[in-house]
């Protein structure tokens, strides 16, 4: 088995090019056995997937990763525990943007450090739900002061296209990474963001590479399930498939990924992630996992290379797709649209927050 590739976001900040995603441990994604989920994290680190993505708003997940790191430190020593690179997020609640203070920023950073049981957050990815409300630049300034105090190594952002991130880089902030949805189904990031990010030394960290599990064998040849899922990711990504094309085109894509994978002896999920990793300026793919059960298939991503013929075959299917169109997170930014209605906007102070549609506001 080939070891996962790595990438330097900034000097001294090395990540694995597949990052273990933590959202799936936060609830609404099927059962989570906490003890098993924590124990299984070690298999990722030992396999070379040393970078973990979480968020201040992923309920209970920073604590789980913290429990894992503390246990690893205690059993295997600081050198092994220090291999774990954690990237979290800072996402103030929508309802608090006007009153959100610079002290609130440091309090969230301190809370993340305490939950994660580490002395420095490697990357904090900032997001502000509505730039027309409150003071986003001041909040990022407060995060930079946390960086100067040694509490944060590098700054990142979430779910913004180039024009929004430029707002921060032009104000003098060094943005090491931008986390965005980027997959064979959703190539919005390729339009403006990737070229701009290349010019500005901002690394892209992609999520949605497996479309919440849709880009796996599980859905190959399966009938259209509609939209009635209790798993929040499947609703989110079923909407993205709808933008991509009809269910038949999605099935053609799965068949093509499967044919390419068969040629290399890897699952179609590995082809889907490899395709993203090969796109300009993509530093890593964040692959969500509750346990280590998919880890052997995930590691296959590093066992092969796509050929020009493979890429052309996949490209021929993508050429038939109608979307999603527009900027990164553009569809999702309409809180009353079908992509925006299914999100929760106030998880920072309210872990029991409901989806926007359910609240009817």
Q: 316: part of which helix (H) or strand (E)? A: helix 308-318
Query: Which of residues 197 and 211 has its CB atom nearest to ligand NAP in the complex?
Result: 211
Query: Which of residues 298 and 346 has its CB atom nearest to ligand NAP in the complex?
Result: 298
DSSP tag of 219: G
Binding site for ligand NAP (CB under 6 A): 21-24, 29, 53, 158-159, 179, 207-213, 216, 233, 269, 286-291, 294, 297-298
Query: Which of residues 285 and 317 has its CB atom nearest to ligand NAP in the complex?
Result: 285
Residue 266 and residue 310 in contact, taking contact as beta carbons nearer than 8 Å: no
Chain residue at closest Cβ approach to ligand NAP: 21
Query: Which of residues 3 and 75 has its CB atom nearest to ligand NAP in the complex?
Result: 3
> How near is the Cβ of 231 to ligand NAP at its closest, in Å?
7
For residues 123-154, one letter each, b for 16 or more C-beta atoms within 10 angstroms of the residue's C-beta and e for the rest, the string is: bbbbbbbeeeebbbeebbbbbbebbeeebbbb
Query: Which of residues 26 and 314 has its CB atom nearest to ligand NAP in the complex?
Result: 26
> How near is the Cβ of 6 to ligand NAP at its closest, in Å?
18
Q: What is the chain's length?
A: 361
> How near is the Cβ of 301 to ligand NAP at its closest, in Å?
8
> How near is the Cβ of 308 to ligand NAP at its closest, in Å?
25
> How near is the Cβ of 147 to ligand NAP at its closest, in Å?
20
Gap between the Cα atoms of 327 and 206, Å rounded: 15
Gap between the Cα atoms of 33 and 311, Å rounded: 39
DSSP string over 141-202: HHHHHHHHTTSEEEEEEES--HHHHHHHHTTT--EEEEEEE-SSS--GGGTTHHHHHHHHT-
> How near is the Cβ of 350 to ligand NAP at its closest, in Å?
18
> How near is the Cβ of 201 to ligand NAP at its closest, in Å?
20
Gap between the Cα atoms of 241 and 250, Å rounded: 7
Gap between the Cα atoms of 208 and 19, Å rounded: 12
Query: Which of residues 298 and 333 has its CB atom nearest to ligand NAP in the complex?
Result: 298
Query: Which of residues 147 and 209 has its CB atom nearest to ligand NAP in the complex?
Result: 209
């Amino acid at each position: 088995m080939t070891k996962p590739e790595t990438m330097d976001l900034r000097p001294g900040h090395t990540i694995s090019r597949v990052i273990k995603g933590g959202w799936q441990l936060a609830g609404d994604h099927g059962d989570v056995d906490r003890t098993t989920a924590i124990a299984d994290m070690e298999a990722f680190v030992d396999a070379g997937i040393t970078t973990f993505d979480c968020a201040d708003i992923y309920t209970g997940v920073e604590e789980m990763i913290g429990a894992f790191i503390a246990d690893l430190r205690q059993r295997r020593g600081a050198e092994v525990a220090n291999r774990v690179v954690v990237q979290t997020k800072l996402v103030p609640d929508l309802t608090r943007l006007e009153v959100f203070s610079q002290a609130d920023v440091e309090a969230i950073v301190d809370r993340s450090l305490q939950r994660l049981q580490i002395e420095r957050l490697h990357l904090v990815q900032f997001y502000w739900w509505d730039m027309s409300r409150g003071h986003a630049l001041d909040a990022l300034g407060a995060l930079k002061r946390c960086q100067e105090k040694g509490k944060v190594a590098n700054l990142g952002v979430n779910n913004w296209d180039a024009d929004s991130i430029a707002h921060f880089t032009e104000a003098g902030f060094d943005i090491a990474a931008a986390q965005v949805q980027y997959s064979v189904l959703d190539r919005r990031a390729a339009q403006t963001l990737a070229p701009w990010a290349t010019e500005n030394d901002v690394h892209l960290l992609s999520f949605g590479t497996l479309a919440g599990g849709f880009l796996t064998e599980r859905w190959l040849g399966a009938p259209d399930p509609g939209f009635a899922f209790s798993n929040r990711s499947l609703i989110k990504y079923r909407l993205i498939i709808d933008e991509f094309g009809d269910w038949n085109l999605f099935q053609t894509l799965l068949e093509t990924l499967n044919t390419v994978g068969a040629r290399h002896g890897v699952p179609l999920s590995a082809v889907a992630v490899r395709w993203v990793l090969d796109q300009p300026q993509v530093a890593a793919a964040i692959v969500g996992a509750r346990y280590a059960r998919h880890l052997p298939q995930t590691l296959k991503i590093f066992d092969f290379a796509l050929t020009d013929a493979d890429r052309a075959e996949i490209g021929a299917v993508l050429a038939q797709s109608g979307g999603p169109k527009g900027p990164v997170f553009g569809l999702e930014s309409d809180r009353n649209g079908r992509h925006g209605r299914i999100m929760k906007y106030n998880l920072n102070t309210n872990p029991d927050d409901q989806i926007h549609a359910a609240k009817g506001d």
